[in-house]
Structure formats: structure tokens, C-alpha cells
């Protein structure tokens, strides 16, 4: 398969065909202890936060670099720094919901790879949560997953 045909096929694929099952994703509940988050972040770059495992409503994300705030002592509440003040363990942060970032980017589970790539470029991010119409977490799509799939496509097509 030539690269142009491979790219066209790649762009039209649905992201939900490529996402790992939720059982393989780094997910914690909002009231999970911070220790559970840290254990996941030993081998992951992010953790998705859901309200609970039954409903699976996505409420936040905790990124690897966000963890710096929980280890630092709280600084005085300066304008613009208020959110990180309360994320420190020394300020009383105990649960995933205390330290999660509520601003995360999602894409509909039926979106195409091209739509996901365009959103990643627009917002300069490498991962999107796949959600359904009710805001339930259905998967994730990352640049790494997309690279692997494209390489698989050209290998399979090219022999």
C-alpha cells in the first residue's frame, strides 16, 4: 500500500477501533487515595479520573507532571496559583479528586483519526479521552497509539 492510500485509510478509521479496553487504561475513582494515583504514574504519563467505576463518567485527568504540586509545600495563595496551593499533600489533598485537572480534552467515540489528529494539533496535546454522549469514558486515543497503527497499516499493506 502506498503512503498516500495508507494515510487516507488511516484518516478515515474510527478512533474507537484503536483504543485499548478500559480495563487496560489508567483509571481511578474520584475518591481514590493519592497513593493509588502515584502507583499508576510509576509506569504511565496520565491517569483518568471517573466519578465511579459503575457510571464511568469522566471528571478529570492527572498528568505525570501535575504530581510535582502534590510534593511541594503549599505556597502563599498568589493570583493564578490558587489551584496548585490546594493540590499539595501538606494542604490536605488526599484523594484523586483533590489533585485532578478538570480541564481535559475529549472526543466522541465515533470520531475519525483525522478529527483526533486535528484536535491534538489545535490544542497541542498528545492524548484525548473517548467519551459517549453521556460523558462516559469509553477509551483513549494517543499519538503513540496512532503512530503504532499507522506503522501497522503500512507494514500490512506493504508486505
pLDDT, tens digit (0-9, with 9 covering 90-100), for 121-156:
999 999 999 999 999 999 999 999 999 999 999 887
- Run of H or E including 158: helix 143-158
Per residue in 66-79, pLDDT (tens digit) is 899 888 887 655 54
Domains in the chain: how many in total? 1
pTM: 0.86
Q: Taking all residues of the chain, what is their mean pLDDT, rounded to a whole number?
A: 90
**Which domain, by its residues, includes 111?**
3-158
Whole-number pLDDT of residue 63: 95
In percent, how much of the chain has pLDDT > 90?
Answer: 75
What CATH number does the domain containing 122 carry?
3.10.580.10
Given a cut of 90, whether residue 97 has pLDDT beyond it is yes
Whole-number pLDDT of residue 126: 95
CB hemisphere CA count around 142 (13 angstroms): 9
- The whole-angstrom separation of Cα 159 and Cα 154 is 8
Whole-number pLDDT of residue 82: 46
Amino acid at each position: 500500500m502506498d503512503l498516500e492510500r495508507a494515510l487516507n485509510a488511516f484518516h478515515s478509521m474510527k478512533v474507537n477501533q484503536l483504543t485499548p479496553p478500559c480495563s487496560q487504561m489508567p483509571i481511578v475513582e474520584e475518591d481514590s487515595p493519592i497513593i493509588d494515583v502515584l502507583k499508576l504514574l510509576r509506569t504511565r504519563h496520565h491517569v483518568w479520573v471517573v466519578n465511579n467505576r459503575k457510571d464511568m463518567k469522566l471528571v478529570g485527568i492527572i498528568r505525570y507532571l501535575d504530581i510535582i504540586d502534590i510534593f511541594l509545600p503549599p505556597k502563599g495563595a498568589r493570583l493564578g496559583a490558587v489551584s496548585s496551593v490546594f493540590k499539595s499533600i501538606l494542604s490536605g489533598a488526599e484523594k484523586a479528586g483533590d489533585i485532578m485537572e478538570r480541564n481535559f480534552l475529549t472526543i466522541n467515540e465515533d470520531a475519525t483519526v483525522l478529527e483526533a489528529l486535528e484536535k491534538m494539533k489545535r490544542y497541542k496535546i498528545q492524548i484525548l479521552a473517548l467519551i459517549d454522549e453521556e460523558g462516559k469514558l469509553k477509551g483513549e486515543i494517543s499519538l503513540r497509539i496512532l503512530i503504532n497503527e499507522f506503522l501497522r497499516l503500512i507494514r500490512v499493506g506493504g508486505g
